Structure 1
Amino acid sequence: MSKIDVYGSFAQALFFSGPVAVPKYLLLHYAALGLTDQQMVLLIHILSEMGTNPYPQASVLAQRMQAGTEEIEEMIGRLVERGLLAIEKSWNAEERKWSYSYSILGLIDKLAEQWALEGVKQFTSNRSPKAPSVPATEAVAPVNDPTADKLISLFEQELGRELTVFECQHIEAWLSAHYSGELIVEALRRGVAAGIRSFRYLDSILREWEKKGLHTKAEVEADDRYFQARQEKKAPGRKRAKKVQDGKTDKDKYEDFYL
Protein backbone atom coordinates (compact mmCIF):
# COMPACT_ATOMS: atom_id res chain seq x y z
CA MET A 1 0.00 0.00 0.00
CA SER A 2 1.41 3.38 -0.99
CA LYS A 3 1.98 6.25 1.41
CA ILE A 4 -0.90 8.18 -0.17
CA ASP A 5 -3.26 5.23 0.36
CA VAL A 6 -2.21 4.93 4.00
CA TYR A 7 -2.76 8.65 4.57
CA GLY A 8 -6.16 8.49 2.83
CA SER A 9 -7.24 5.53 4.97
CA PHE A 10 -6.17 7.34 8.11
CA ALA A 11 -8.03 10.54 7.12
CA GLN A 12 -11.18 8.54 6.44
CA ALA A 13 -10.93 6.72 9.77
CA LEU A 14 -10.27 10.03 11.54
CA PHE A 15 -13.22 11.98 10.18
CA PHE A 16 -15.68 9.09 10.26
CA SER A 17 -14.83 7.97 13.79
CA GLY A 18 -17.57 10.28 15.02
CA PRO A 19 -17.52 13.81 16.43
CA VAL A 20 -17.78 14.72 20.10
CA ALA A 21 -20.13 17.64 20.75
CA VAL A 22 -18.58 19.85 23.43
CA PRO A 23 -20.37 23.20 23.79
CA LYS A 24 -18.03 26.13 23.30
CA TYR A 25 -19.64 27.87 26.27
CA LEU A 26 -18.50 24.98 28.47
CA LEU A 27 -14.94 25.22 27.14
CA LEU A 28 -14.87 28.94 27.85
CA HIS A 29 -16.28 28.73 31.38
CA TYR A 30 -15.29 25.38 32.88
CA ALA A 31 -12.52 27.05 34.91
CA ALA A 32 -15.06 29.51 36.35
CA LEU A 33 -17.11 26.50 37.52
CA GLY A 34 -14.09 25.32 39.50
CA LEU A 35 -13.26 22.44 37.13
CA THR A 36 -9.63 21.48 36.63
CA ASP A 37 -8.22 20.68 33.19
CA GLN A 38 -8.11 16.99 34.08
CA GLN A 39 -11.74 16.98 35.26
CA MET A 40 -12.75 18.70 32.02
CA VAL A 41 -10.99 16.04 29.93
CA LEU A 42 -12.76 13.36 31.99
CA LEU A 43 -16.13 14.98 31.25
CA ILE A 44 -15.28 15.10 27.54
CA HIS A 45 -14.57 11.35 27.57
CA ILE A 46 -17.88 10.69 29.35
CA LEU A 47 -19.71 12.90 26.83
CA SER A 48 -18.09 11.03 23.94
CA GLU A 49 -19.57 7.74 25.19
CA MET A 50 -23.09 8.85 26.08
CA GLY A 51 -24.57 7.87 22.73
CA THR A 52 -23.49 4.23 22.92
CA ASN A 53 -22.23 3.64 26.46
CA PRO A 54 -23.96 5.84 29.05
CA TYR A 55 -21.85 4.41 31.90
CA PRO A 56 -18.21 3.85 30.84
CA GLN A 57 -16.20 2.03 33.47
CA ALA A 58 -13.59 3.93 35.45
CA SER A 59 -10.92 1.48 34.27
CA VAL A 60 -11.69 2.33 30.62
CA LEU A 61 -11.56 6.07 31.32
CA ALA A 62 -8.31 5.61 33.27
CA GLN A 63 -6.71 3.81 30.31
CA ARG A 64 -7.65 6.61 27.94
CA MET A 65 -6.34 9.32 30.25
CA GLN A 66 -3.25 7.35 31.30
CA ALA A 67 -4.28 7.65 34.91
CA GLY A 68 -4.95 5.25 37.75
CA THR A 69 -8.44 3.80 38.17
CA GLU A 70 -8.58 5.05 41.76
CA GLU A 71 -7.67 8.53 40.56
CA ILE A 72 -10.52 8.50 38.03
CA GLU A 73 -12.96 7.20 40.64
CA GLU A 74 -11.89 10.00 43.00
CA MET A 75 -12.45 12.63 40.29
CA ILE A 76 -15.88 11.19 39.51
CA GLY A 77 -16.72 11.24 43.22
CA ARG A 78 -15.76 14.92 43.47
CA LEU A 79 -17.89 15.81 40.45
CA VAL A 80 -20.84 13.91 41.93
CA GLU A 81 -20.32 15.56 45.33
CA ARG A 82 -20.42 19.01 43.73
CA GLY A 83 -23.56 18.15 41.78
CA LEU A 84 -21.92 18.51 38.36
CA LEU A 85 -22.31 14.82 37.57
CA ALA A 86 -24.87 12.27 38.73
CA ILE A 87 -25.09 8.48 38.54
CA GLU A 88 -28.63 7.36 37.74
CA LYS A 89 -29.99 3.86 38.35
CA SER A 90 -32.83 2.30 36.34
CA TRP A 91 -34.37 -1.14 35.98
CA ASN A 92 -33.87 -2.91 32.63
CA ALA A 93 -36.98 -5.06 32.18
CA GLU A 94 -35.62 -6.95 29.16
CA GLU A 95 -32.33 -7.96 30.76
CA ARG A 96 -33.94 -8.08 34.23
CA LYS A 97 -31.16 -6.16 35.92
CA TRP A 98 -30.28 -2.67 37.07
CA SER A 99 -28.46 -0.41 34.65
CA TYR A 100 -26.51 2.76 35.36
CA SER A 101 -25.87 5.95 33.43
CA TYR A 102 -24.18 9.31 33.92
CA SER A 103 -26.26 12.48 33.94
CA ILE A 104 -24.85 15.97 33.29
CA LEU A 105 -28.01 17.91 34.18
CA GLY A 106 -26.19 19.38 37.20
CA LEU A 107 -23.43 20.65 34.93
CA ILE A 108 -26.04 22.20 32.64
CA ASP A 109 -27.65 23.93 35.64
CA LYS A 110 -24.30 25.39 36.68
CA LEU A 111 -23.68 26.66 33.15
CA ALA A 112 -27.16 28.21 33.15
CA GLU A 113 -26.30 29.97 36.42
CA GLN A 114 -23.06 31.24 34.88
CA TRP A 115 -25.00 32.54 31.90
CA ALA A 116 -27.49 34.26 34.25
CA LEU A 117 -24.60 35.76 36.24
CA GLU A 118 -23.19 37.31 33.10
CA GLY A 119 -26.64 38.71 32.35
CA VAL A 120 -26.79 40.31 35.83
CA LYS A 121 -23.34 41.84 35.35
CA GLN A 122 -24.33 43.18 31.95
CA PHE A 123 -27.55 44.61 33.38
CA THR A 124 -25.64 46.23 36.23
CA SER A 125 -23.01 47.76 33.96
CA ASN A 126 -25.70 49.20 31.67
CA ARG A 127 -27.67 50.65 34.59
CA SER A 128 -24.75 52.07 36.58
CA PRO A 129 -23.13 55.34 35.44
CA LYS A 130 -19.64 54.99 34.07
CA ALA A 131 -16.94 55.97 36.55
CA PRO A 132 -14.37 58.52 35.40
CA SER A 133 -11.13 57.00 34.25
CA VAL A 134 -8.31 57.07 36.80
CA PRO A 135 -4.68 57.38 35.73
CA ALA A 136 -2.61 54.26 36.34
CA THR A 137 -0.49 56.10 38.90
CA GLU A 138 -3.59 56.86 40.97
CA ALA A 139 -5.14 53.40 40.76
CA VAL A 140 -6.44 52.17 44.09
CA ALA A 141 -6.24 48.55 45.16
CA PRO A 142 -9.65 46.84 45.38
CA VAL A 143 -11.16 46.74 48.85
CA ASN A 144 -12.77 43.54 50.13
CA ASP A 145 -16.49 43.92 50.74
CA PRO A 146 -17.24 42.79 54.32
CA THR A 147 -20.89 42.18 53.39
CA ALA A 148 -19.88 39.83 50.59
CA ASP A 149 -17.41 38.05 52.87
CA LYS A 150 -20.10 37.58 55.50
CA LEU A 151 -22.59 36.26 52.95
CA ILE A 152 -20.04 33.85 51.50
CA SER A 153 -19.30 32.56 55.00
CA LEU A 154 -23.01 32.04 55.67
CA PHE A 155 -23.57 30.23 52.37
CA GLU A 156 -20.58 27.96 53.02
CA GLN A 157 -21.90 27.18 56.48
CA GLU A 158 -25.33 26.34 55.09
CA LEU A 159 -24.07 24.29 52.12
CA GLY A 160 -21.38 22.56 54.17
CA ARG A 161 -18.63 23.24 51.64
CA GLU A 162 -16.49 26.01 50.18
CA LEU A 163 -18.09 28.06 47.44
CA THR A 164 -16.57 28.01 43.98
CA VAL A 165 -15.15 31.16 42.41
CA PHE A 166 -18.26 31.30 40.22
CA GLU A 167 -20.60 31.14 43.23
CA CYS A 168 -18.68 33.88 45.05
CA GLN A 169 -18.93 36.04 41.94
CA HIS A 170 -22.67 35.39 41.87
CA ILE A 171 -23.07 36.79 45.38
CA GLU A 172 -20.92 39.81 44.50
CA ALA A 173 -23.08 40.36 41.40
CA TRP A 174 -26.23 40.38 43.56
CA LEU A 175 -24.71 43.05 45.77
CA SER A 176 -23.59 45.03 42.71
CA ALA A 177 -27.17 44.85 41.44
CA HIS A 178 -28.18 46.60 44.70
CA TYR A 179 -29.84 43.59 46.35
CA SER A 180 -29.45 44.11 50.09
CA GLY A 181 -27.68 41.57 52.28
CA GLU A 182 -30.85 40.89 54.27
CA LEU A 183 -32.78 40.11 51.06
CA ILE A 184 -30.08 37.67 49.91
CA VAL A 185 -30.19 35.93 53.29
CA GLU A 186 -33.99 35.79 53.13
CA ALA A 187 -33.80 34.24 49.64
CA LEU A 188 -31.34 31.65 50.98
CA ARG A 189 -33.68 30.85 53.89
CA ARG A 190 -36.62 30.31 51.55
CA GLY A 191 -34.56 28.21 49.19
CA VAL A 192 -33.41 25.97 52.05
CA ALA A 193 -36.99 25.70 53.34
CA ALA A 194 -38.06 24.54 49.87
CA GLY A 195 -35.17 22.08 49.69
CA ILE A 196 -33.63 23.96 46.73
CA ARG A 197 -30.12 25.38 47.07
CA SER A 198 -29.56 26.31 43.44
CA PHE A 199 -28.16 29.80 42.88
CA ARG A 200 -30.41 30.08 39.83
CA TYR A 201 -33.44 29.51 42.06
CA LEU A 202 -32.27 32.17 44.53
CA ASP A 203 -31.66 34.53 41.62
CA SER A 204 -35.26 34.04 40.45
CA ILE A 205 -36.54 34.91 43.94
CA LEU A 206 -34.51 38.13 44.06
CA ARG A 207 -35.61 39.13 40.55
CA GLU A 208 -39.26 38.57 41.46
CA TRP A 209 -38.91 40.82 44.52
CA GLU A 210 -37.23 43.45 42.37
CA LYS A 211 -40.15 43.37 39.92
CA LYS A 212 -42.53 43.97 42.82
CA GLY A 213 -40.42 46.84 44.12
CA LEU A 214 -39.58 45.05 47.37
CA HIS A 215 -36.22 46.13 48.78
CA THR A 216 -36.29 45.07 52.45
CA LYS A 217 -37.19 41.96 54.41
CA ALA A 218 -40.05 43.88 56.07
CA GLU A 219 -41.54 44.73 52.67
CA VAL A 220 -41.27 41.08 51.58
CA GLU A 221 -43.02 39.88 54.73
CA ALA A 222 -45.74 42.51 54.26
CA ASP A 223 -46.24 41.29 50.69
CA ASP A 224 -46.52 37.72 52.01
CA ARG A 225 -49.22 38.78 54.47
CA TYR A 226 -51.09 40.63 51.74
CA PHE A 227 -50.97 37.57 49.48
CA GLN A 228 -52.12 35.29 52.31
CA ALA A 229 -55.01 37.63 53.14
CA ARG A 230 -56.13 37.60 49.50
CA GLN A 231 -56.00 33.80 49.42
CA GLU A 232 -58.06 33.54 52.61
CA LYS A 233 -60.57 36.01 51.22
CA LYS A 234 -60.98 33.89 48.09
CA ALA A 235 -61.56 30.76 50.14
CA PRO A 236 -63.30 31.79 53.37
CA GLY A 237 -64.24 28.22 54.17
CA ARG A 238 -60.68 27.00 54.15
CA LYS A 239 -59.25 26.27 57.54
CA ARG A 240 -56.44 28.54 58.53
CA ALA A 241 -53.08 27.03 59.23
CA LYS A 242 -52.30 26.37 62.85
CA LYS A 243 -49.94 28.78 64.51
CA VAL A 244 -46.43 27.53 65.07
CA GLN A 245 -45.70 26.76 68.71
CA ASP A 246 -43.32 28.98 70.61
CA GLY A 247 -39.67 28.00 70.31
CA LYS A 248 -36.88 28.35 67.85
CA THR A 249 -37.12 26.96 64.34
CA ASP A 250 -34.67 26.70 61.45
CA LYS A 251 -35.48 30.33 60.63
CA ASP A 252 -33.94 31.49 63.90
CA LYS A 253 -30.40 30.71 62.82
CA TYR A 254 -30.69 33.46 60.21
CA GLU A 255 -31.99 36.06 62.64
CA ASP A 256 -28.50 36.63 64.09
CA PHE A 257 -27.10 37.56 60.67
CA TYR A 258 -26.97 41.35 60.82
CA LEU A 259 -25.61 43.36 57.91
Structure 2
Amino acid sequence: MIKNKIFAWLKEGTITIPSFLFSNYKAMGLNEQEVMLLLQLQSFLEMGNAFPTPSQMAARMTFQESECLFMIQRLIQKGFIDIEEEYSNSIRHERYSIDPLYEKMIDCFLKTLNQTESAQAAADNDSLYTIFEKEFGRPLSPFECETLAMWMEEDHHPDIIKAALRESVISGKLNFRYIDRILFEWKKNGVKTLEQAKSHGEKFRVHQKRDKKAGPAAAAKEVPFYNWLEQ
Protein backbone atom coordinates (compact mmCIF):
# COMPACT_ATOMS: atom_id res chain seq x y z
CA MET A 1 0.00 0.00 0.00
CA ILE A 2 2.78 2.39 0.94
CA LYS A 3 4.70 1.46 -2.21
CA ASN A 4 1.66 2.33 -4.34
CA LYS A 5 1.47 5.76 -2.71
CA ILE A 6 5.17 6.36 -3.30
CA PHE A 7 4.78 5.18 -6.89
CA ALA A 8 1.88 7.61 -7.39
CA TRP A 9 4.02 10.40 -5.95
CA LEU A 10 6.87 9.59 -8.35
CA LYS A 11 4.44 9.61 -11.28
CA GLU A 12 3.67 13.24 -10.48
CA GLY A 13 6.96 13.98 -12.19
CA THR A 14 9.53 16.74 -11.69
CA ILE A 15 10.34 20.00 -13.40
CA THR A 16 13.81 21.23 -14.29
CA ILE A 17 14.56 24.78 -13.22
CA PRO A 18 17.80 26.54 -14.23
CA SER A 19 19.66 27.67 -11.11
CA PHE A 20 20.54 30.84 -13.04
CA LEU A 21 16.90 31.92 -12.69
CA PHE A 22 17.10 31.79 -8.89
CA SER A 23 20.33 33.77 -8.86
CA ASN A 24 19.35 36.41 -11.39
CA TYR A 25 15.57 36.83 -11.51
CA LYS A 26 15.91 40.25 -9.87
CA ALA A 27 18.35 41.38 -12.57
CA MET A 28 15.86 40.13 -15.17
CA GLY A 29 13.11 42.34 -13.75
CA LEU A 30 11.10 39.64 -11.97
CA ASN A 31 9.86 39.43 -8.40
CA GLU A 32 9.25 36.34 -6.27
CA GLN A 33 5.52 36.14 -7.05
CA GLU A 34 6.13 36.30 -10.80
CA VAL A 35 8.83 33.63 -10.63
CA MET A 36 6.50 31.29 -8.75
CA LEU A 37 3.72 31.86 -11.25
CA LEU A 38 6.11 31.11 -14.12
CA LEU A 39 7.17 27.88 -12.41
CA GLN A 40 3.55 26.90 -11.90
CA LEU A 41 2.90 27.61 -15.57
CA GLN A 42 5.86 25.46 -16.56
CA SER A 43 4.47 22.66 -14.41
CA PHE A 44 1.07 22.89 -16.13
CA LEU A 45 2.73 22.84 -19.56
CA GLU A 46 4.79 19.76 -18.73
CA MET A 47 1.67 18.02 -17.44
CA GLY A 48 -0.07 18.63 -20.78
CA ASN A 49 -2.25 21.59 -19.82
CA ALA A 50 -1.08 24.23 -22.31
CA PHE A 51 -3.58 26.91 -21.34
CA PRO A 52 -4.44 26.75 -17.62
CA THR A 53 -7.09 29.18 -16.43
CA PRO A 54 -6.41 31.81 -13.76
CA SER A 55 -8.63 29.81 -11.40
CA GLN A 56 -6.51 26.71 -11.91
CA MET A 57 -3.41 28.75 -11.21
CA ALA A 58 -4.97 30.31 -8.11
CA ALA A 59 -5.90 26.87 -6.76
CA ARG A 60 -2.19 26.12 -6.42
CA MET A 61 -1.11 29.47 -5.10
CA THR A 62 -1.89 31.95 -2.32
CA PHE A 63 -3.29 34.48 -4.79
CA GLN A 64 -6.84 35.16 -5.83
CA GLU A 65 -7.95 34.38 -9.38
CA SER A 66 -7.96 38.08 -10.26
CA GLU A 67 -4.41 38.45 -8.97
CA CYS A 68 -3.22 35.50 -11.08
CA LEU A 69 -4.90 37.00 -14.14
CA PHE A 70 -3.23 40.35 -13.47
CA MET A 71 0.22 38.72 -13.09
CA ILE A 72 -0.22 36.72 -16.29
CA GLN A 73 -1.14 39.88 -18.19
CA ARG A 74 1.83 41.72 -16.68
CA LEU A 75 4.24 38.92 -17.62
CA ILE A 76 2.91 38.98 -21.18
CA GLN A 77 3.46 42.76 -21.33
CA LYS A 78 6.98 42.38 -19.92
CA GLY A 79 7.78 39.77 -22.57
CA PHE A 80 8.18 36.68 -20.36
CA ILE A 81 5.12 34.81 -21.69
CA ASP A 82 3.62 34.45 -25.16
CA ILE A 83 0.17 33.25 -26.18
CA GLU A 84 0.40 31.12 -29.29
CA GLU A 85 -2.37 29.85 -31.54
CA GLU A 86 -2.61 26.37 -33.00
CA TYR A 87 -5.28 24.56 -34.98
CA SER A 88 -6.54 21.03 -34.55
CA ASN A 89 -9.36 19.75 -36.79
CA SER A 90 -9.98 23.35 -37.89
CA ILE A 91 -10.51 24.38 -34.28
CA ARG A 92 -8.34 27.19 -32.95
CA HIS A 93 -6.62 26.59 -29.65
CA GLU A 94 -4.51 28.91 -27.55
CA ARG A 95 -1.51 27.89 -25.53
CA TYR A 96 1.00 29.63 -23.30
CA SER A 97 4.68 29.62 -24.18
CA ILE A 98 7.48 30.43 -21.74
CA ASP A 99 10.15 30.40 -24.46
CA PRO A 100 10.51 34.18 -24.02
CA LEU A 101 11.51 33.55 -20.39
CA TYR A 102 14.37 31.32 -21.52
CA GLU A 103 15.40 33.82 -24.19
CA LYS A 104 15.63 36.51 -21.52
CA MET A 105 17.63 34.17 -19.30
CA ILE A 106 20.09 33.57 -22.14
CA ASP A 107 20.38 37.33 -22.80
CA CYS A 108 20.96 37.96 -19.09
CA PHE A 109 23.53 35.16 -18.91
CA LEU A 110 25.48 36.53 -21.89
CA LYS A 111 25.37 40.03 -20.43
CA THR A 112 26.65 38.74 -17.10
CA LEU A 113 29.36 36.78 -18.88
CA ASN A 114 30.47 39.85 -20.83
CA GLN A 115 30.58 41.92 -17.65
CA THR A 116 32.69 39.24 -15.96
CA GLU A 117 35.07 39.07 -18.91
CA SER A 118 35.34 42.87 -19.02
CA ALA A 119 36.12 42.98 -15.30
CA GLN A 120 38.73 40.25 -15.74
CA ALA A 121 40.27 42.10 -18.69
CA ALA A 122 40.47 45.28 -16.62
CA ALA A 123 42.16 43.36 -13.81
CA ASP A 124 44.60 41.81 -16.30
CA ASN A 125 45.37 45.25 -17.69
CA ASP A 126 46.15 46.62 -14.23
CA SER A 127 48.29 43.56 -13.54
CA LEU A 128 50.24 44.04 -16.78
CA TYR A 129 51.03 47.67 -16.04
CA THR A 130 52.21 46.71 -12.55
CA ILE A 131 54.40 43.86 -13.85
CA PHE A 132 56.00 46.05 -16.53
CA GLU A 133 56.71 48.86 -14.08
CA LYS A 134 58.27 46.36 -11.68
CA GLU A 135 60.55 44.92 -14.37
CA PHE A 136 61.52 48.35 -15.70
CA GLY A 137 61.99 49.68 -12.17
CA ARG A 138 60.09 52.87 -12.92
CA PRO A 139 56.65 54.17 -13.95
CA LEU A 140 55.85 53.66 -17.62
CA SER A 141 55.92 56.67 -19.90
CA PRO A 142 52.71 57.78 -21.69
CA PHE A 143 54.10 56.32 -24.93
CA GLU A 144 54.83 52.98 -23.25
CA CYS A 145 51.36 52.89 -21.70
CA GLU A 146 49.87 53.55 -25.12
CA THR A 147 51.98 50.79 -26.65
CA LEU A 148 50.91 48.32 -23.97
CA ALA A 149 47.27 49.23 -24.56
CA MET A 150 47.78 48.76 -28.31
CA TRP A 151 49.15 45.25 -27.78
CA MET A 152 46.04 44.31 -25.81
CA GLU A 153 43.75 45.82 -28.44
CA GLU A 154 45.48 43.65 -31.04
CA ASP A 155 44.17 40.56 -29.22
CA HIS A 156 47.48 39.62 -27.61
CA HIS A 157 46.56 37.62 -24.53
CA PRO A 158 47.99 39.11 -21.30
CA ASP A 159 49.92 35.87 -20.67
CA ILE A 160 51.54 36.13 -24.12
CA ILE A 161 52.55 39.73 -23.43
CA LYS A 162 54.06 38.63 -20.11
CA ALA A 163 55.94 35.85 -21.93
CA ALA A 164 57.35 38.38 -24.41
CA LEU A 165 58.45 40.58 -21.50
CA ARG A 166 60.17 37.57 -19.95
CA GLU A 167 62.00 36.83 -23.22
CA SER A 168 63.25 40.42 -23.39
CA VAL A 169 64.52 40.17 -19.79
CA ILE A 170 66.33 36.88 -20.48
CA SER A 171 67.84 38.32 -23.67
CA GLY A 172 69.04 41.41 -21.83
CA LYS A 173 67.08 43.68 -24.15
CA LEU A 174 64.49 45.19 -21.86
CA ASN A 175 62.78 47.74 -24.09
CA PHE A 176 59.38 48.11 -25.72
CA ARG A 177 60.73 48.01 -29.25
CA TYR A 178 62.24 44.56 -28.70
CA ILE A 179 59.07 43.26 -27.00
CA ASP A 180 57.01 44.59 -29.90
CA ARG A 181 59.20 42.67 -32.36
CA ILE A 182 58.73 39.49 -30.32
CA LEU A 183 54.95 39.86 -30.32
CA PHE A 184 54.94 40.64 -34.04
CA GLU A 185 57.00 37.54 -34.82
CA TRP A 186 54.89 35.31 -32.58
CA LYS A 187 51.69 36.54 -34.19
CA LYS A 188 53.16 35.97 -37.66
CA ASN A 189 54.09 32.40 -36.72
CA GLY A 190 50.75 31.63 -35.10
CA VAL A 191 52.02 31.53 -31.52
CA LYS A 192 48.91 31.65 -29.33
CA THR A 193 49.75 29.65 -26.23
CA LEU A 194 52.35 29.87 -23.49
CA GLU A 195 53.71 26.47 -24.52
CA GLN A 196 54.33 27.70 -28.07
CA ALA A 197 55.92 30.91 -26.81
CA LYS A 198 58.17 28.94 -24.47
CA SER A 199 59.20 26.65 -27.31
CA HIS A 200 60.18 29.60 -29.52
CA GLY A 201 62.19 31.13 -26.69
CA GLU A 202 64.05 27.89 -25.98
CA LYS A 203 64.95 27.45 -29.65
CA PHE A 204 66.41 30.94 -29.68
CA ARG A 205 68.53 30.38 -26.58
CA VAL A 206 69.85 27.01 -27.84
CA HIS A 207 70.86 28.61 -31.12
CA GLN A 208 72.45 31.54 -29.27
CA LYS A 209 74.58 29.18 -27.14
CA ARG A 210 75.68 27.33 -30.27
CA ASP A 211 76.82 30.58 -31.84
CA LYS A 212 78.86 31.49 -28.73
CA LYS A 213 80.59 28.09 -28.69
CA ALA A 214 81.61 28.55 -32.32
CA GLY A 215 83.90 31.38 -31.16
CA PRO A 216 86.14 33.55 -33.34
CA ALA A 217 86.34 30.96 -36.08
CA ALA A 218 82.68 31.32 -36.80
CA ALA A 219 83.01 35.09 -36.67
CA ALA A 220 85.85 34.94 -39.22
CA LYS A 221 83.45 33.41 -41.70
CA GLU A 222 81.39 36.58 -41.41
CA VAL A 223 78.20 34.66 -40.75
CA PRO A 224 75.43 37.14 -39.80
CA PHE A 225 74.45 37.10 -36.12
CA TYR A 226 71.44 34.84 -35.64
CA ASN A 227 68.34 36.67 -34.51
CA TRP A 228 65.54 34.37 -33.42
CA LEU A 229 63.04 37.08 -34.32
CA GLU A 230 64.01 36.79 -37.96
CA GLN A 231 64.17 33.02 -38.28
TM-score by length of 1: 0.45
Larger Rg: 2
The structure in which a higher percent of residues are helix is 2
Higher relative contact order (CA 8 A, sep 6+): 1
